[in-house]
Amino acid sequence: MKLTTTILATGALAISASASFADGHMADELTLVSWGGAYQKSQQRAYSEPYAAETGVSFTWDESSAEAVAKLRAMNEAGNITWDVVDVVAADAIRLCDEGLALEIDHDEQLAAAPDGTPASEDFGELIVSDCFIPQIVYSTAFGYRTDLLDSAPTSVCAIFDQETYPGKRSLEKRPIANLEWALICDGVDISEVYDVLETEEGQARAFAKLDTIKDDTIWWSAGAETPQLLADGEVTIGSTYNGRLFSVIEEQNQPVGILWDWQMFDLDGWIIPAGLPEDRLARALDFVSYATDTQRLADQAKYISYGPARASSAPLVGKHADLGIDMAPHMPTDPANAVNTFLFNYEWWADYRDDLDAKFQAWLAQ
Amino acid sequence: MSDGPVLAADGTPLKRSLARALRREKMRAFLLVAPLLIFIMVTFVAPIADMLFRSVENNIVRDTIPRTVQALRSWDSNSDELPPEAAFSAFYTDLVFAEERKLHTRLGSRLNYEKTGMSSLFRKSGRRVGRFDTDEYSKAFTGLDAAWEDPATWNRLFATGNTAMPETSDTYATWRAVILENEDDPLAEEPWDVLFNALYRDLSNGNAFDDPLLSAAKAGLGSIEPVSIREQLVDVDEDWEDPEVWKTIQTYAASYTPGYFLNSADLQLTGEGVSARPENERIYIKLFQRTLFMSLVITFSCILLGYPVAWLLANLPARTANVLLILVLLPFWTSLLVRTSAWKVLLQQQGVINDILVWSGLIDDAGRLVMINNQTGTIIAMTHILLPFMILPLYSVMKTIPPSYLRAAKSLGATNWTAFWRVYFPNSVPGIGAGSILVFILAIGYYITPELVGGTQGVFISNRIAFHISSSLNWGLAAALGTILLAAVLILYWAYDKMVGIDNVKLGG
């Protein structure tokens, strides 16, 4: 009898304790998921370190963003979500939102407004590509080239198909996205028609035929660090990679490399919060995300890495690099001088054609 | 001495007493291994079995759109005609609830593996399904009698099932479940358009109704303009007019599908049956062959390089041997990525080896060798990485071969070669067997090294499995590919057992 009472009492205590936690209490720990490397470091310096200094929250970082969708799906199936805030590319955010694995956000309600009072949804504008997605940066896939190994600096993306003027090996990402678009653009297709053309068998054959012309001279990369290494070693003379990687090769490591911004492909990266978090963790995650994506914090991140802040109101605040002291604005992919010819990763179109074109791309590679 | 059975000290027959003791012994032994056994079952066997099961499991279609699956059963997919309006209506009902539960895009991605365009078709339709013209039905029925607006009316008429109104009862049951899932009250929630659509269909089909409300609604049916769900869907996207879309749903409606396995063999399942994939999509058979071939080459390279090293280790004085052993183990303790990247630095065209060859004049600058980002690079890097797995079992077996055997052979007149080949080598075969199995099985499942140094010609089937697990999220196909790989390994293991005998494999002593 006595034992039962004790158990009951403990149970009641536990219940009332958890109820009081849920009542506005925020967790003291945050598990953040990101990409590792220089990018994660910039997030730590711009977001998590000042936040920890203000609130005393302790951070755990997991470098799993590349497999975030697969892992969140598995966590959801297992009913045990260990992540609080996850950094993903926009395409993954859309997938997670579609599958109900990410929390839908009311951007105006739950995120900070711009200093002049512009609501968050207007400040982010079109970059809110999904209800679950909290945009953070705009990055781009552009080309780097060796300034000393090429006779002249390329000005058009079609230089990759021009072996006579720009000899040497190329490096391209081992996936169809962006490569097929560039192939068609350089085959004379207007950007507005690229996806219509790619929907047809003939259009796909045309893109692959164009890539065929450089297939034997191309090294296909799957990790973002590969092209910078290949460029630095002189293994390739021109290759695609993320613009932040090129910035670090050029400005931080002083390699003889230049950036070719022509027809860079924009992509977005940002936060999502997994669906189904307990209330105290959710409250903390929302608080952190609101802090980390306000106008000043997004501009701060640009001090450490050359990715464009996702808020319109952050752009004027972008200053100098924290360690190098150089102006960051001209290194942003969104800088008007760099953004003459650009296109945005077509999320909806690729969601449909990814399975099919990836199979064809891999079969083409293996031929 | 008596003729009866031999008795134990306590008087029971000795046989039974022995059996009992033996049983107790076995039980104790089993209990001792039980924790490990249970651990392995729970953390190893069960997840693998679960993953393999996904290669045939296909409940998602039936679970997400059950009414559509049912309605398409009687549709002849070869007639080139679209399914009847009933199927469209069933799909509308399914889609409304799937959208509410956020399951429709998941189904869209699943069907997109089979037919391009399904993903956006489902996402688009889900976005629009709440704004179909079926609200005309809601307005018309509530115009006839305001009681239709009241959730209690629906609860009274359909909560216990109404045989004259099967579709409405069924839809109401699901609606109720959805409302309860959202932790709302079905008696307070305004009835959705999808319920009125079902009501309209049931009323147009049936005649006798026991409730005056239903009879009155039936009488007023003439004044209501019918809404074609088909037109509504086609308005969202013309693809709903494409019979291929419905054929795909029908083909993949079953709970279990051979589709993933067919896909793994470069075949495809269509409405007309099994056919080969188009030439420009065939890849898996080629990758399986390549994986097996290259794993074998890597295993043989490991034997060739590892055997002399193991022999040295086993026969040198202990001091020198220990230093050598550390040299073998050192790379073993170094990160895999570091070792792979090191090979890049060595083998690439502007790399150390090519530089030395050019400097020494063996090749000219234009003729630098291509040694990486192809099969050669993969074989070199993986042989190096897997070499310790060959050397260590070989070493531990060679350690047990007494040197006196070789001396005996020589004293009986054997040449060095004969002594080695007839005496030493047969004794070391169990080590080769163990090392080969280890290296081969590890090689066949490798993917990081091939991904980094394999280029286009050196990638393995595991690279595709990893891609489907983490990128395309086609876990069914990944499971099918994994199952085939597992089966291939088991068959090879069985063949090895038949030819060499698994008893001849030794990891040591």
Domains located in chain B, CATH noted: 1-53 (no CATH), 63-131+229-257 (no CATH), 135-223 (no CATH), 284-504 (1.10.3720.10)
pLDDT, mean of residues B393-402 = 92
Residue-level pLDDT at B319: 93
Q: Which of B162, B164, B181 is nearest to B172 (CA)?
A: B162
A246 neighbors A307 (Cβ within 8 angstroms): no
Q: Is B127's Cβ below 8 Å from some Cβ in A?
A: no
- Min CA distance, B211 vs chain A (Å)? 41
Tokens of A351: 């969601």
Radius of gyration of chain A (CA): 23
Give, as one character, the DSSP assignment of residue B415.
-
Q: Is B107's Cβ below 8 Å from some Cβ in A?
A: no
Instruction: Name B260's Cβ contacts closer than 8 Å, sequence gap at least 6.
Output: B55, B56, B476, B477, B479, B480
Instruction: Name A49's Cβ contacts closer than 8 Å, sequence gap at least 6.
Output: none
Q: Tally DSSP H helices, then E strands, for chain B.
A: 26, 2
pLDDT, mean of residues A62-73 = 93
Count Cα neighbours of B103 within 13 Å in the Cβ-side half-sphere: 16
pLDDT, mean of residues B310-334 = 91
pLDDT, mean of residues B307-333 = 91
pLDDT in tens, A305-363: 999 999 999 999 999 999 899 999 999 999 999 999 999 999 989 988 998 999 999 99
Q: Which of B459, B464, B282 is nearest to B378 (CA)?
A: B459
CA terminus-to-terminus distance, chain B: 50
Question: How much is the mean pLDDT over chain A?
Answer: 91
In chain B, what percentage of residues exceed pLDDT 90?
73
Interface of B with A in 375-434 (CB under 8 A): none
Which residues share a beta bridge with A141? A242, A265
pLDDT in tens, B258-293: 999 999 999 998 888 899 999 888 999 999 999 999
Residue B68 pLDDT > 90 = yes
Q: Do B451 and A95 touch (CB under 8 A)?
A: no
pLDDT in tens, B182-215: 999 999 999 999 999 999 999 998 777 778 898 8
Residue-level pLDDT at B292: 94
Q: Do B283 and A66 touch (CB under 8 A)?
A: no
**pLDDT-derived band of residue A21, with 50, 70 and 90 as boundaries?**
very low
pLDDT, mean of residues A51-60 = 95
A315 neighbors A309 (Cβ within 8 angstroms): yes
- AA identity, residue B423: V
Residue B508 pLDDT > 80 = no
pLDDT, mean of residues A247-267 = 95
Q: Do B105 and A99 touch (CB under 8 A)?
A: yes
Residue B154 to residue B150: CA distance in whole angstroms: 7
Q: Do A222 and B349 touch (CB under 8 A)?
A: no
Radius of gyration of chain B (CA): 35
State how far the alpha carbon of A332 is from the alpha carbons of A9, A146, A296, A321, in Å.
Answer: 60, 20, 17, 12
**pLDDT-derived band of residue A12, with 50, 70 and 90 as boundaries?**
very low
Q: Do B116 and A356 touch (CB under 8 A)?
A: yes
pLDDT, mean of residues A135-159 = 95
- AA identity, residue B443: A
Domains detected in chain A = 27-138+269-326 (3.40.190.10), 141-266+331-366 (3.40.190.10)
Write phi, then psi, for B188 (nearest 5 degrees). -120, -15
A245 neighbors A140 (Cβ within 8 angstroms): no
Which residues share a beta bridge with A219? A171
Residue A76 to residue A276: CA distance in whole angstroms: 9
- Provide the ipTM: 0.86
Residue-level pLDDT at A2: 46
Residue A11 pLDDT > 70 = no
**pLDDT-derived band of residue B14, with 50, 70 and 90 as boundaries?**
confident
Residue B109 to residue B336: CA distance in whole angstroms: 35
Which residues share a beta bridge with A266? A140, A344
Q: How many CB atoms lie within 10 A of CB A306?
A: 28
Instruction: Name A177's Cβ contacts closer than 8 Å, sequence gap at least 6.
Output: A265, A345, A350, A354
pLDDT, mean of residues A249-267 = 95
B444 neighbors B485 (Cβ within 8 angstroms): yes
A280 neighbors A25 (Cβ within 8 angstroms): yes
- Min CA distance, A57 vs chain B (Å)? 31
pLDDT, mean of residues B222-248 = 93
Residue B460 to residue A348: CA distance in whole angstroms: 30
Residue B423 pLDDT > 50 = yes
A43 neighbors A62 (Cβ within 8 angstroms): no
* Closest partner CB to A70 (pick from B108, B109, B473): B473
B321 neighbors B470 (Cβ within 8 angstroms): no
Residue-level pLDDT at A24: 62
Q: How far is CA B26 from the centre of its chain?
A: 38
Residue-level pLDDT at B484: 95
Residue A338 to residue A303: CA distance in whole angstroms: 19
Beta-strand (E) ranges in A7-93?
29-33, 58-62, 85-89
Instruction: Name B151's Cβ contacts closer than 8 Å, sequence gap at least 6.
Output: B186, B187, B188, B189, B190, B191
Which residues share a beta bridge with A258? A145
Interface of B with A in 72-101 (CB under 8 A): 101
> Which residues from chain B sit within 8 angstroms of residue A349, using beta carbons?
120
Q: Is A20's Cβ below 8 Å from some Cβ in B?
A: no
Q: Is A303's Cβ below 8 Å from some Cβ in B?
A: no
Residue A135 pLDDT > 90 = yes
Owner of token pair 């910039």: A42
DSSP string, A320-351: B-TTT--BSGGGSTTSTTT-SSEEE--HHHHH
Write phi, then psi, for A269 (nearest 5 degrees). -135, 145
pLDDT in tens, B427-482: 999 899 889 999 999 999 998 899 989 888 888 999 999 999 988 899 999 999 99
Residue A6 to residue A309: CA distance in whole angstroms: 56
Tokens of B359: 């400097």
